[in-house]
């Protein structure tokens, strides 16, 4: 029997409305994605290499405040290790036995070349009066000077007088104790390898004390070392009357000052061009978020008076002050010197 058209339409309409009003089938909630561990690719331990100097135990003790700070910031154990030379520390990073390092600035340039190092911040050490704790010094510059010294009365008054003389450098990879002064000597027409009898004293204090004790007539070191040795009564140093460390000195000023010093005193005869201060560097292939965590921890030390007082130093990033693309460019002046010296790290022990 045929159905009326209106009946068919009405029935279809009712069915459609009923279907629309019916509750939708219940779906099970989607499973939450597993939490991503931001530290999954971080090393289980962060190893920081440092030059041992004369006393490895003292170096480790003096930097324990830095170790604990980095440990707190990263949440992973931090271990300090020392090398008997700058090159040994670089080699440790190259072989991935060190994740970070604090070595001389020239050694950093070599570490970039040989161990893919990347600078995070520059370490500054303010001058501290006896009995006082270190404080942030806003006038402190992120560079320093290599100084050539002699004992007045040795017959040496300027760089040209060094030709044919015995001379103490510090370490083959030392920035202010070898590489920059060697560059200065070569530019002055003196080849240390041919025109001088050189020794490597091993440390900055040892190089200056070799002059003080009459073992060699002249040596190279960084400026602050002279003030430190004087403060500890290890030498008699003829300092500039203003007592300012890190101030540019013209050769005319240096020569004039020499004439005011007493015979037997350690006296400067030459100041180098400004040398960028020592950086804290890491292996470039460390996870980016770990590197950023380390950098932020270092740069925040300027706001931590307790840390500065205990550690005796703090960290800055001068790249913006000098309008540099990155902190690594701060060390280009040393790369120029490296090219001039035709350095080969593999031959430096």
Q: Which residue ranges form the domains of the chain, and what is each CATH number?
A: 46-129+278-347 (3.40.190.10), 143-275 (3.40.190.10)
What string of pLDDT tens digits covers the 349 residues of the chain? 444 444 444 444 444 444 444 555 556 565 555 556 788 899 999 999 999 887 999 999 999 999 999 999 999 999 999 999 888 999 999 999 999 999 988 889 989 999 999 999 999 998 887 788 999 999 899 999 999 999 999 999 999 999 999 999 999 888 899 999 999 999 999 999 999 999 999 999 999 999 999 999 999 999 999 999 998 999 999 999 998 888 899 999 999 999 999 999 999 999 999 999 999 999 999 999 999 999 999 999 999 999 999 999 999 999 998 899 999 999 999 999 988 998 775 565 5
Residue closest to 103 by CA, chosen among 46, 44, 171: 171
Distances (CA, A) of 295 to 73, 159, 280, 281: 10, 41, 9, 10
Tokens for 52?
């041992």
Half-sphere exposure (Cβ direction) of 43: Cα atoms closer than 13 Å: 18
Residue 167 contacts residue 147 (beta carbons within 8 Å): no
Distances (CA, A) of 246 to 38, 127, 133, 149, 260: 42, 10, 20, 16, 21
| DSSP letter, residue 312 | S
Q: What is the pLDDT of residue 17?
A: 44
Q: What is the pLDDT of residue 338?
A: 86
Quickly list DSSP for 2-50: PPPHHHHHHHHHHHHHHHHHSPPPP-PPPPPPPPP-TTTTS-SSEEEEE
Residue 219 contacts residue 208 (beta carbons within 8 Å): yes
- Number of Cβ atoms within 10 Å of the Cβ of 96: 12
Tokens for 299?
């740069």
This model's pTM is above 0.75: no
């Amino acid at each position: 029997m045929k159905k009326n058209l209106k009946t068919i339409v009405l029935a279809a309409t009712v069915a459609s409305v009923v279907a629309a009003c019916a509750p939708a089938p219940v779906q099970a909630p989607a499973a939450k994605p597993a939490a991503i561990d931001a530290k999954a690719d971080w090393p289980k331990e962060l190893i920081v290499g440092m030059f041992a100097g004369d006393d490895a135990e003292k170096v480790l003790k003096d930097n324990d405040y830095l170790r604990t700070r980095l440990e707190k910031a990263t949440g992973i154990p931090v271990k300090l290790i020392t090398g008997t030379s700058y090159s040994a520390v670089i080699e440790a990073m190259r072989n991935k036995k060190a994740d970070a390092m604090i070595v001389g600035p020239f050694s950093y340039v070599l570490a970039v070349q040989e161990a893919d190092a990347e600078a995070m911040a520059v370490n500054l050490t303010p001058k501290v009066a006896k009995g006082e704790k270190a404080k942030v010094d806003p006038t402190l510059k992120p560079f320093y000077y290599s100084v050539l010294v002699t004992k007045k009365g040795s017959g040496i008054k300027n760089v040209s007088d060094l030709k044919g003389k015995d001379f103490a450098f510090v370490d083959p990879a030392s920035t202010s104790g070898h590489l920059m002064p060697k560059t200065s000597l070569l530019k002055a027409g003196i080849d240390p390898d041919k025109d001088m009898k050189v020794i490597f004293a091993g440390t900055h204090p040892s190089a200056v004390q070799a002059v003080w004790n009459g073992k060699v007539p002249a040596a190279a070191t960084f400026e602050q070392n002279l003030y430190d040795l004087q403060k500890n009564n290890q030498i008699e140093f003829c300092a500039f009357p203003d007592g300012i460390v890190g101030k540019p000195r013209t050769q005319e000023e240096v020569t004039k000052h020499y004439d005011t010093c007493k015979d037997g005193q350690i006296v400067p005869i030459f100041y180098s061009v400004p040398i960028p201060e020592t950086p804290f560097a890491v292996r470039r292939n460390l996870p980016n978020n770990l590197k950023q965590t380390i950098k932020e921890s270092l740069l925040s030390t300027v706001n931590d008076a307790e840390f500065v007082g205990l550690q005796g130093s703090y960290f800055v990033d001068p790249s913006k002050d000098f309008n540099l693309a990155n902190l690594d460019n701060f060390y280009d002046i040393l790369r120029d010197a490296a090219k001039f010296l035709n350095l080969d790290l593999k031959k430096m022990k």
